Amino acid sequence: MLELRLVQGSLLKKVLEAMKDLVTDANFDCSATGFSLQAMDSSHVALVALLLRSEGFEHYRCDRNITMGMNLNNVSKLLKCAGNDDIITIKADDGGDTVTFMFENPKQDKISDFEMKLMDLDSEHLGIPDAEYHAIVRMPSLEFSRICKDLSSIGDTVVISVTKEGIKFSTRGDIGNANIVCRQNTTVDKPEEATVIQMNEAVSLTFALRYLNSFTKATSLSETVTISLSSELPLVAEYKIADMGYIKFYLAPKIED
């Protein structure tokens, strides 16, 4: 028996919006730790890892580990039927082939439930080792989103370089080229407005902007994004989900052929 009650239902709505364009079908794993997901996009260039810890739910009952395969577009459609202030409860029976999403409005005078068929998906769970990154940059998520959007009007790929000067985003296209540098800036009114650069070693990597733009769909989940870069590893863009966990996007670089 699985029963997860999330008071801030809007979080789940936002999580689905952040993932549904990148990943079509995915297995949600439910255990005592929490509600999680790991999935790659169809071309295996990007990977998303989600964790909503059990402590973040008002009620969390998961008698045994359950894997539930779902089409994210369909889940997103169902969650669009929930109001932003609704409480969302996810229910499933052990060994069952359906999941139920229940929505309660704040006045508790409207209760909806939607039952959805689960899918049997081949899960290809990848082991992601802990790594020391050459550079870790925390910046306002809205700023990162703006940069990715602006640069994609000029080019298809971006070179992200971190030096002592700051983090530089460069692109080139038919009309010319563009560089945006964000310097470390900690003299801000609110900590979430800061740009903080931790650099062990200078790093420069090339990425497809299309994927980075897709990751920025998570912007509404967190005011800051943490970008981790290492020359031998995929980029990680992490959006923390307040009091609950995170959504992390991994993106494999483009390398010299």
Residues engaged in binding other proteins (CB under 8 A) = 40, 43-47, 124-129, 157, 206, 208, 232-234, 250, 252-257
Which secondary structure element, helix H or strand E, spans residue 171, and what is its range?
strand 166-173
Measure the CA–CA gap between 254 and 90, rounded to whole angstroms: 39
Shortest separation between residue 173's beta carbon and other proteins, angstroms? 14
Which pair of structure tokens corresponds to residue 213? Answer: 């733009």
Closest CA to 4 of 28, 38, 39: 28
Shortest spacing between CB 64 and other proteins, in angstroms: 22
Rounded CA separation 257/242 (Å): 41
3-class DSSP state for residue 72?
A: helix
Report the C-alpha dihedral over residues 6, 21, 218, 174, rounded to 10 degrees.
180
CB of 213 to other proteins, least distance (A): 16
Smallest separation (angstroms) from other proteins to the CB of 233: 6
Q: How far is the CB of 47 from other proteins (least distance, A)?
A: 5
Q: How many CB atoms lie within 10 A of CB 250?
A: 22
| Burial category of 67 from C-beta neighbours within 10 Å (exposed 0-12, middle 13-18, buried 19 and up) | middle
